[in-house]
Amino acid sequence: MTGPGRPRLVESRRPGASGREEILDAAGELFVTRGFAATSTRAIADSVGIRQASLYHHFPTKESILAALLDSTVEPSLRYARTLADLGGDPALLLWALTAGDSWNLLTDRSNLGRLYLIPEADAAGLSAFHAKRRELHGIYRTLAAQVVADPKDPRCALPVRVTESVIAIRADDPTMAAPADGPLPASAGLVADSALRILGIEPTDALREAGTALVATHRHAAPPPGDDRPE
Amino acid sequence: MTGPGRPRLVESRRPGASGREEILDAAGELFVTRGFAATSTRAIADSVGIRQASLYHHFPTKESILAALLDSTVEPSLRYARTLADLGGDPALLLWALTAGDSWNLLTDRSNLGRLYLIPEADAAGLSAFHAKRRELHGIYRTLAAQVVADPKDPRCALPVRVTESVIAIRADDPTMAAPADGPLPASAGLVADSALRILGIEPTDALREAGTALVATHRHAAPPPGDDRPE
């Protein structure tokens, strides 16, 4: 047995260390390739090779699977963004590092889950925690951008996060743009970060890119600081 | 009677001069707010106030409605892009005008139909005409961007069209960003066009913006030239 519930019907064929992660992996693939409404919990269980009862042990509803998947697309980036904002220092450098690390995150999940952001079911009430996190993440982008241009009312402040999220459409049109989660910063993530600064009128220097790449490497997988009691 | 098929059951309550346009308007709203899979042709017919048989007179399948909707999001912009490309001249000016006019188009349709670009059903074979047009439109963006940076291999050439399409997510998060189809160029469309040039290292001047705004006004609604026999 790999976890709670009934014994598996078949060998695991999914990435993921736990039954929960295998369910998320299978559901993400099916939601993106067939659609949320067209995917049953039965189809997800079949794809993992478990019984539906085992799936319900982890997730009471299909909506709760969608909530967990969408959360997984913002939670690591939000934690990373909070870490960068707490560091302080040159806002252009912090914004470059945020844009590079966040777009890297969006390039790594196996199924390009950001495609689910715009489906109507993502507006459901049960997804309010995801939306709150995404709003907080967007707010950190805006705050850093406002510091870069020294004007919180500059309408350009809304754009850097949109450039980051454009990697979702880039991957949807060209699946080869997906990048491994580890290894060096993908060139496309650096390009997106350069673009975010250029929109704000800053031409990134090689020194800024180097320092930004180091920040990404050090902090992108940072755990929450001990005693961090901000609501997640 | 407002067109072919049976008499209407109720007064028209939809924008659109024809039964076909009313069906598209209703279907677009339902696909975006409830989802494609969750919307039946019956629900679309009910929403228009016509019988299902009248709907089938215009569209044999639900997929053909989706195809017509997605086509409506690229066809005017592609026609406009071809017109600009045929004009020739300063590529930065042409790219500014393309980005401004295309993002304006995406800001005007009532239901933000670009949200449907990433749904799995948009990958269906019946939508190949839409995908071909969108690829041609993206290609014109790329060609103009390559002329601006004088290097067709510069990876930044892929980004201007992504900034344009980011207005889809901006509208999804904030429906007040929608803009009327007529009247002055929306400020957000100008901002997107400025950003596309800045990503390529060009700071738009007021003279360029003025000339670009004039190009948008003159050519955005241009009809295909007489004798234009390029395949649509």
- Looking at the domain that runs over A70-219, which CATH code has it been given? 1.10.357
- pLDDT tens for A1-17 read 444 444 555 555 566 66
Which region among A108-117, A219-228, B157-166 has the lowest average model confidence (pLDDT)?
A219-228
Q: pLDDT, tens digit, for every residue of A163-198?
A: 999 999 999 999 999 999 889 999 999 999 999 999
Whether residue B203 and residue A201 make contact (CB cut-off 8 A), yes or no, is yes
- Mean pLDDT within A55-76: 96
What is the interface pTM, i.e. ipTM, of the complex? 0.88
Q: Which residues, including other chains, have CB under 8 Å from residue A65's CB and lie 6 or more apart?
A: A23, A24, A27, A41, A44, A59
Q: Where are the domains of chain A?
A: 1-60, 70-219
Question: Is A175 touching B (CB cutoff 8 A)?
Answer: no
Q: Average pLDDT for residues A122-141, to the nearest whole number?
A: 93
Within 13 Å, how many C-alpha atoms sit on residue B156's CB side?
23
Question: Over 70: is that where the pLDDT of B224 sits?
Answer: no
Lowest mean pLDDT among A20-29, A189-198, A218-227: A218-227
pLDDT tens-digit profile of B51-97? 999 999 999 999 999 999 999 999 999 999 999 999 999 999 999 99
- pLDDT over 90 (residue A82): yes
Query: What percent of chain A clears pLDDT 70, i.e. is strictly above it?
Result: 88
Q: What is the pLDDT of residue B18?
A: 83
Shortest CB distance from B118 goes to which of A37, A118, A158?
Answer: A118
Asked: is B67-219 a CATH 1.10.357 domain? The reply is: yes
In this predicted structure, what is the pLDDT of residue B201?
96
B170 pLDDT above the threshold of 60: yes
Tell me the per-residue pLDDT of B14-59, one tens digit each, with 9 for 90 and over: 666 689 999 999 999 999 999 999 999 999 999 999 999 999 999 9
User: How far is A63 from chain B, CA to nearest CA, in Å?
Assistant: 15
pLDDT at A4: 47
Residue A68 has pLDDT above 90, yes or no: yes
The residue-averaged pLDDT of A199-210 equals 97
Choose among A34, A26, A75: nearest CA to A54: A26
Output Rg (C-alpha) for chain A, integer angstroms. 19
**Residue in A closest to B162 by C-alpha:** A166
How large is the average pLDDT for residues A211-225?
87
A230 in reach of chain B (CB within 8 A): no
Number of cross-chain residue pairs from A and B with Cβ atoms under 8 Å apart: 84
Query: Do the domains at B1-60 and B67-219 have one common CATH topology?
Result: no
pLDDT at B232: 42
User: What is the per-residue pLDDT for B188?
Assistant: 96
For residues A105 and A76, the answer to whether their CB atoms sit within 8 Å is yes
Domain A1-60 coded CATH 1.10.10.60: yes
Residues of A in contact with B137 (CB under 8 A): none
pLDDT, averaged across chain A? 91
How far, in Å, CA of B202 to CA of A20, rounded?
Answer: 49
Contact A170, B162 (CB under 8 A): yes
Query: Closest chain B residue to A117 measured between Cα atoms?
Result: B169
* Dihedral angle sign, alpha carbons of residues A79, A83, A89, A93: negative
Predicted pLDDT at B5: 47
CA distances from B68 to A34, B71, B73, B221 (A): 21, 5, 9, 19
Mean pLDDT across B180-208: 96
Q: In this structure, how many other beta carbons lie within 10 angstroms of the beta carbon of residue B162?
A: 23
From CA A186, how far away is CA A188, in angstroms rounded? 5
CB contact under 8 A, B198 and A203: no
Nearest alpha-carbon partner for B113 in B195, B33, B211: B33
At A1 the pLDDT is: 40
